[in-house]
Every structure is written in structure tokens, then in C-alpha cells.
Structure 1
Amino acid sequence: MADADARREGGGTRGLAYVRASAVLARLRDRWTGSLRDRLRRTRAGAGLAVQAGLAAALAWWVADGLLRVPQPVFAPISAVIALAASVGQRLRRTIELIVGVSLGVLVGDILIYLVGTGWWQLGLIVVLSIVAAVLLGGSPAVMVQSAATAVLIVTLSPAVENLEFPRFLAALIGGAVSVVVTAVLLPLNPLRIINRAASPALKLLAAQLDATVDALRGRDAAAAQAALDRLRANKPEMGAFGEAVQAAQEASTLSPVRWGNRQGPVGRYARAVEPVDRASRNSGTLIRRSVTLIEDGEPIPEAMIAAVSVLAKAVRVLHREFTTADEPDEAREVALRAVRHAGDAYRAGVGFSGAVVVAQVRTTASDLLVAAGMEQEEANRLIRRAFGSFRTR
């Protein structure tokens, strides 16, 4: 239709070409604008890391060169930056492993250069022996890879000055130690921000698929419910990132004096919520799977059942909001119990076999959310039973 209008208004082929060119330019403009926004968002997210890396490199050089007078301490800032970058969003153990790998590679490389010299076959031998040494010391794959990579760097940048074996090993240790001090003491990242950034996709995904299930139930659209189920089942990356971020935030709260107040507060609540949120996702998957069967079998769908799933999605969103603002999740608890009350109304209104499973999964998922909100399991179960009410049907 647009092509026909273009031919009439713009002079046939030239008008059509103009419309198509305008459409292409509009798509490119939208893509560029969206890409620019994404780049700016990633830049803001990485600004803290950039400052940390700059400070770690500068301090590592100053400590090694200015304080300890290590000859040519180039490996101090290199080790600091590598250790810091590799530890983002990971546990402290991985940072220590990286420091050990760097230091081991420097040590093995320097010793073997001193014994056998440099060259292509020496390079291969040094890489092999660096990995063997890491294995003998019980190192993880991260230690082995970093040890070998550092040994390669040592061989290819063989020193022009003699007797630098131990100083380079010391410089690598200094750099790694400085990176830990910078991230834990001098410029620690906000642990709550780390968790919020990682938890948001997992919680938003859960709420979105429950919302999609509401629409599917209302429209008796089994395909839409199946699509929601498939998407929720593919949540391992989101839940994995959530769990890793909690570990990183707990470490930041433990190691950094300025973050000690977060250990029992917001970060502690998030840490306790990871497992029940994961259970809530899995139980919601069962809820959605039975919704597919319910629709396909033509079972009754009381309006209260739709309301129960809708309010359950709201409970997830409220929990996310209260976690983000570091508030006590009182409203999330109340909304979760409201979902259970709707589920009880749906059961008493009359449901089929799969409908009864959906109702049961609303109860189970709501219980998971109550535990995620800081409630003990026994207390959550007691409140769930009270909110659900009688099992007598009409």
C-alpha cells in the first residue's frame, strides 16, 4: 500500500525509491540511537572498574618502584590490572587463583630462562613446565592458563638486564596484592548495586512469564502459555548470574570496612533469597505447564485463578522493587498472600484436575516468595494455609 502511494505521489519509481531509502535511513538512525544508548549504559556500568584499574596500576607501580625499589617493576601494574579485571563479578578465590597463576608463570619462566635461555623450543618447554607446576600445586584451570600465559609473556619479553628473576616474581605478587586492596578497601564497588544489576533479569523474567500466562489463560491460548514456559525454563543464565553476584557482594561486604553494614541488611536478604527465588521459578514452571494442559483439555478457568496468577506476578515485581530500594519486603509478603487468597477462591469456585495443580502451585510459589522475603518456612506455610481458607467447594 505504501509502495502504491509512493508511485502515485512521488512520480512512480523515483517516489518508491525515496520511500525505501527513507525507511532504510530511519532504521539505521534507530539502530544507531539504540546502540549509542547501550554503549553509554555499558560505559557507566564499567566506569567503576576503569577507575579501580587505573588506581590499582598506579599504586602497584608506586609500591614496587617507589617504596620497594624493585628493578623494572613492569609486572606489578600488569598483574594488578589482570587480577582486578578477572575478578569482576566472581569470588575472591578466583582472584587469588589468578594472582598465583601470574606469580607462578613469572617464577617458572624466569628460572627456565636462566637455565636454558630463550628461543622457540624453550618457549614450548616453559609453557609445558608452567602448566605441570600448576597441576602439581593443585591449581585450578584458571591457575594453569594464567601461569602458561604469563610464562609466554616472560619468554617473549626476555629481559635485557640480568638478575631480574626474583624482582619480577615479587612485582607480580605486589600487583596482585594491590588489586585486592583496591577492590576491598580503597575503592570497593557497592555490593547492593552488584546484586541489583544481576538479580533484576532473573526476577523480571519470572514476573514477565507469569504475566504472559495470565494473558494465555484469559485468551485460552495454549501456544502462548507454552512460549512462556519455554522462556522460563531457559533462565539458567539469569539465575546463575544472580547467585554469582550474591557471592561477590557478600565478599565485598565482608572484606571492605565501609560495606560491613550491608552484611546483615540488604545483601544478607539477597543472599538468603537466591535459593527460594530459584524454587519459585521452578514451581512457576510447573504452574505454567499445567496451564497449558488446562487450556488444551478445556477445563474451567475461574476468574479468581487468573487473578491469582496475576497477583503472584505482582508479588515478584514488588519483591524486586523492595530489594532494590533496600526496604523491608513487607508489601511483597502481603501481595503474595493475596495471590493465595485468590487461589482459594478459584478452588472453591470449581476447577478441573490441572486447574487444581495450578492452584496448588500458586500456593507453593507464594510460599517460596515469602521465604525469599525473609520469612521462616514454617511461618510461611502457616500464613499460606490461613490465606487459602476452606477446601470446601461450592
Structure 2
Amino acid sequence: MVAAGRPGTDGDAPARAGAGAQHGPTSTVARLWGRLSEALRDRGRRVRGIGGLALQAGLAAALSWLVAHQVLHVSQSVFAPISAVSTLAASLGQRLRRTIELIIGVTVGVLVGDLLLGVMGTGWWQLALMVVLAILVALFLAGSAAVVVQAGATAVLVATLSPSVRDLEIPRFVDALIGGAVALLVTAVLLPLSPLRVLNRAARPALDLLSDQLEATAGALTDRDIDRALTARAKLRENKAELSALVEATQGAREASTLSPVHWHQRHGPVARYAHTAEPIDRAMRNTGTLIRRVVTLIDDGEPVPERMPTAVADLAEAVRLLKRQFAAGQEPVQARERALRAVCAAGDAYREGVGFSGAVVVAQVRTTTSDLLVATGLSQEIANRLVRRAFGGPECPGYLRR
């Protein structure tokens, strides 16, 4: 007979149920509060991220309306602020291109609409034909979605408003020109965003993701924890948003440092170095993915894990963190380079100690990922490869890389 109240038996069930009833509501409230707090923090980060853009858009809309309405006396000046906001809504790094596309699209729409309006008059089928032809001409000339939208929208305005509003076409073109020019003026001179700040904000999530999963993989190797390695692999795969934001930010930083006199001095400094990180960071992500997949296989197959192998992966994680901090401070990433090479040194020690097939691949990926990180710090591929070979070379590994 099983003793009543013995741990793990039915006799303890009422007590457990009572405890669950006692702590359940509190636990639920705590979880809900945690989710709400995280959601509020996420919204706060989002507002801080686009706060500068909101100010730019508001100022550009007001100035473009004043120029069109008060200075040039354009009759339908509502389109100037719309054009300004449309330009600023473009991705960072594409605002100059968006302004040009805006003007091309409006020009196409005005020309096609005016031509057909004079020949065929107005009506539902004339409107349809104008829009179709404007879009086709825009696609032929540029092929950009922004050009197509502006051409089609302008054709609609010409077809529907021209019979009741005189001289609509020229003001529409002038509005587009004013809106785009004012948007660029605000972006470059009046309220320029800091290129370094834009890059830091965009690079932080990507570099945090990479360093966190490398750190988790180092722990998985140490503990032979395959579940932890699988989780790291799954999280690293979800990197598209982070990489897209980084690519967009590098384009924006180049544009800002080129157009804005305030930031011209940064074109050849930290911004220039930082702006070339997107591609090597992308490669580092992909090579780390291969590294983690092989760690999963290594653990599953029971291959040996030399003591220095987890150290190598942990050093890679720390190198990424140092890269983020030194870039954010506008410093030459010397410490990040040293820590990345230390990872290669540790990987070489692990290889010479003895590894299996998957272990050899892990070592190779440490070398490759380190090379990517060195290129991200501003070194050429040739120099990066030479430093990696030297750090891997056993007794020739520089003493300051050993610990």
C-alpha cells in the first residue's frame, strides 16, 4: 500500500492543487504584467527610433506648404507637403532617389494625362486609359514602384480635376519639385540625423543576435547540451529583419554624410568604416549558422570536445560585443580584432588536441567567421586572411593572443 501524503503520490495531489490555486492568479498576473511591460518598452523603442523622422516630416510638410502657398502662390499647394512627406517616408539612403522618382512620375502622369485629355476628353474609360498608359510609360522609363505610383496618381488627378480646376498640371509639377527639394533640405541641413546614431541603432540588434547565439553555442559545447545548440540555431535563422535594418542604415549613413554639410567630416571616419559592415556581418551570420549546425551534429555524434573549443566560440561572441561597443563609440575596433584572433588561436589549439569530423568543421568555421569579423572592422580580406592563418599557426600564434 502506498503511504498517504508521500511525495509524488495521489495523497499529495490536493496540496499541490491548493498551491496551484493559491499561486496561479499571482503567476498569471505576473506573466501578463511582464508581457505588457515588454510591449510598452518595444513601443517606446519604436517611438524613439522614428521620433527624428516624425520631426523631419512635420517640418518638411510645413515649409513646403509655405513655399508653395505663400511664396510661389501655387493654387493647389496641398500636393507640396504630400510630396515632402512621401520623400521622407522612403527608406533611409533612398531619399535623393525618391525625390528624382517623384518628379519623373509626376512628369509622366502630367504629359500622358494632358495629351489624352486634349484628344479624347473626360470620362470613365478615358480615366482608365490614362492611368494604364501612364503606368506603362513609367515602367518603361524607370520601373520603380514609386515612379509608377506617382505617374498613375497624377494621371488620375489630371483626368478628374482638370475639367473643374484650371491650370492644374504645372502646379502639380511645381509641388512635386518643392516637396522633394524641401525634404532634402530638412534632411541635409535643418534636421539632419546623425549617421553614427542611425548605424548604431540598426547594428545593435544584428550584433546582439550574433553574439548571444555564439555565447549560447559555447555553453552548449561545454555542457554537451544539444537542445541549447538547437535553440541557438533556430534563433540565428530569424535574422532577416536585423540584417535588412542594417543594410538600410548603411545606405542612410552614406547618404546623410554625403548630403549634410554637418556630417561631411564623418565621410572618411567611423561612418565610412561602419557603413561597410553589412556584407561581412551577413557572411558572419551565415558562417555562424554553419558552425552551430555542426555543433549540433558534434554533440549528437558524441565527438570529442577539446577544452579550447568552447573557449574559441566564446571569444568570437566577445569579439562581436566589442565590435558593437567600439563602433558605437566611434573608436578603431582594435580590441575586437584582437579578441577575434584569440578565438582562432584557441580553435587551433583545439584542432591540434584532436577533433572529429564535425569538430574540424567547427574549427574551420571559427576561422572563417573571424575573417568576416576582421573585414567588418575595416581590414581588407587579404590582411584578414593573413592574420587568421598566423593566429592558427600553433607555436607561431602571437603570445598576446594566448591566455
- How far apart are the structure 2 equivalents of 1:369 and 1:347? 21
- Structure 2 counterparts to residues 291-330 of structure 1, below 5 A: 291-330=295-334
Note closer, same or farther for the CA distance 1:345–1:23 as it changes in structure 2 (3 Å cut): closer
- Match among 364, 367, 385 for residue 363 of structure 1: 367
Note closer, same or farther for the CA distance 1:115–1:193 as it changes in structure 2 (3 Å cut): farther
Report the equivalent of 2:263: 259
- Structure 2 counterparts to residues 107-122 of structure 1, below 5 A: 108-109=112-113, 112=116, 116=120, 118-122=122-126
Note closer, same or farther for the CA distance 1:318–1:252 as it changes in structure 2 (3 Å cut): same
Question: Residue 42 of structure 1 aligns to which amino acid in structure 2?
Answer: R
- How far apart are the structure 2 equivalents of 1:385 and 1:7? 62
Report the equivalent of 1:161: 165
Note closer, same or farther for the CA distance 1:52–1:91 as it changes in structure 2 (3 Å cut): closer
Alpha-carbon shift at residue 64 of structure 1 (Å): 1.6
Deviations 1:156-191 (A, max 9, x none): 656743223212222222212221222122222111
**TM-score w.r.t. length of structure 1:** 0.87
Would you say the 8 A contact 1:135–1:144 is kept in 2? yes
Would you say the 8 A contact 2:215–2:314 is kept in 1? yes
- Match among 77, 83, 104 for residue 79 of structure 1: 83
Report the equivalent of 1:190: 194
- Structure 2 counterparts to residues 5-44 of structure 1, below 5 A: 25-44=29-48
- For the aligned residue pairs, the C-alpha RMSD in angstroms reads 3.0
Would you say the 8 A contact 1:214–1:306 is kept in 2? yes
Alpha-carbon shift at residue 208 of structure 1 (Å): 1.6
Report the equivalent of 2:232: 228
Would you say the 8 A contact 1:348–1:391 is kept in 2? no
2:340 equivalent to 1:336: yes
- Match among 241, 260, 265 for residue 237 of structure 1: 241
Deviations 1:212-239 (A, max 9, x none): 2112212223343233234323423322
Report the equivalent of 1:272: 276
Deviations 1:103-133 (A, max 9, x none): 5335544665566555533432332122123
- How far apart are the structure 2 equivalents of 1:109 and 1:35? 48
SS of equivalent residue, structure 1 residue 301: coil
Q: Which stretch shows the higher mean deviation, 193-202 or 325-334? A: 193-202
Alpha-carbon shift at residue 311 of structure 1 (Å): 0.7
**Where does the alignment leave 5 or more consecutive residues of structure 1 unmatched?**
10-14
Note closer, same or farther for the CA distance 1:23–1:158 as it changes in structure 2 (3 Å cut): farther
Q: Which stretch shows the higher mean deviation, 297-306 or 95-104? A: 95-104
- How far apart are the structure 2 equivalents of 1:29 and 1:233? 29
Question: Residue 171 of structure 2 aligns to which amino acid in structure 1?
Answer: P
Note closer, same or farther for the CA distance 1:199–1:359 as it changes in structure 2 (3 Å cut): same
Alignment length (residue pairs): 385
Report the equivalent of 1:216: 220
- How far apart are the structure 1 equivalents of 2:246 and 2:16? 51
Alpha-carbon shift at residue 347 of structure 1 (Å): 1.8
- How far apart are the structure 1 equivalents of 2:25 and 2:118? 66
Q: Which stretch shows the higher mean deviation, 158-167 or 340-349? A: 158-167
- How far apart are the structure 1 equivalents of 2:40 and 2:292? 37
- How far apart are the structure 2 equivalents of 1:237 and 1:40? 19
Note closer, same or farther for the CA distance 1:21–1:299 as it changes in structure 2 (3 Å cut): closer
Report the equivalent of 1:204: 208
2:41 equivalent to 1:57: no
Would you say the 8 A contact 2:198–2:249 is kept in 1? yes
**TM-score w.r.t. length of structure 2:** 0.85
Question: Residue 36 of structure 1 aligns to which amino acid in structure 2?
Answer: L
SS of equivalent residue, structure 1 residue 302: coil
Note closer, same or farther for the CA distance 1:224–1:203 as it changes in structure 2 (3 Å cut): same
Note closer, same or farther for the CA distance 1:286–1:23 as it changes in structure 2 (3 Å cut): closer
Would you say the 8 A contact 2:250–2:276 is kept in 1? no
Question: Residue 307 of structure 1 aligns to which amino acid in structure 2?
Answer: T
Deviations 1:332-370 (A, max 9, x none): 011111112211221222222221221222122212212
Percent identity, aligned pairs only, is 63
- Match among 381, 387, 392 for residue 383 of structure 1: 387
- How far apart are the structure 2 equivalents of 1:33 and 1:277? 31
Deviations 1:63-116 (A, max 9, x none): 222222222322111111112112445463244223432453355446655665
Question: Residue 180 of structure 2 aligns to which amino acid in structure 1?
Answer: G
- Structure 2 counterparts to residues 143-158 of structure 1, below 5 A: 143-153=147-157, 155=159
SS of equivalent residue, structure 1 residue 86: coil
Alpha-carbon shift at residue 153 of structure 1 (Å): 4.9
Question: Residue 368 of structure 2 aligns to which amino acid in structure 1?
Answer: T
Report the equivalent of 1:137: 141
Report the equivalent of 1:179: 183
SS of equivalent residue, structure 2 residue 277: helix
SS of equivalent residue, structure 2 residue 38: helix
Would you say the 8 A contact 1:249–1:267 is kept in 2? yes
SS of equivalent residue, structure 1 residue 163: coil
Report the equivalent of 1:12: none
- How far apart are the structure 2 equivalents of 1:6 and 1:221? 31
